[in-house]
Amino acid sequence: MKNWSNKNKLIMLAVCFFIVAILVYSLAVSETISARKNLLANTDTLVSINKAPESIARINEELGKIDRFIGSMSDTAATSTQEMLLEKVSRYCSENGVILKEFPQPLITTEKEYTIETCRIDLQGGFLKLLRFINLLEKERKAGKVVSAGFNCIKDMENKQYKLVASIYIQSIKRIK
């Protein structure tokens, strides 16, 4: 080694340093880095576990709201949506001079643990009176939710006059027990 020049000594020192750096990295630093990654992953998991009771409480509260809403739509007297609507429509028609043109049987669909009942009502009358009835249905919501409303102008051949007819669709969702 005494015969080596400074340049060769410097190259040998760099090679030894490089070999030592590789050994240190493989024996100590790589394990530290993987332990740090595991620590961060476990910390995130721990944070989400600590927040889990809050999340569960919030989700249960939202489910309770949905159940109360569905429960309020399915009232305790077990009256059907159609009966409730017929009562409301007949009262409104008699008080406001609106004519009930058609009230067909509801379409009932069962999906998993819910029953969806869709009713159609066809009323004839003035635009404002029909609009007030739709507004009344939307505000109360006991019989269901107004999902669609359309207005048609129909020509009466006997009187040769045009009549305004509103077709209103109401849906109610009930939980099957």
Dump pLDDT digits (tens) for 11-39: 888 999 999 888 888 877 778 888 888 99
What are phi and psi for residue 125, nearest 5 degrees?
A: 170, -165
Does the domain made of 81-175 have the CATH classification 3.30.70.100? no
Dump pLDDT digits (tens) for 161-170: 899 999 999 9
Dump pLDDT digits (tens) for 135-159: 998 888 777 889 999 999 988 888 8
Q: Is the backbone of residue 69 left (phi > 0), alpha (psi -120 to 50) or beta? A: alpha
Q: Determine if the pTM surpasses 0.85.
A: no
How deeply is 168 buried, as exposed, middle or buried, from its count of CB atoms within 10 A (0-12, 13-18, 19+)?
buried
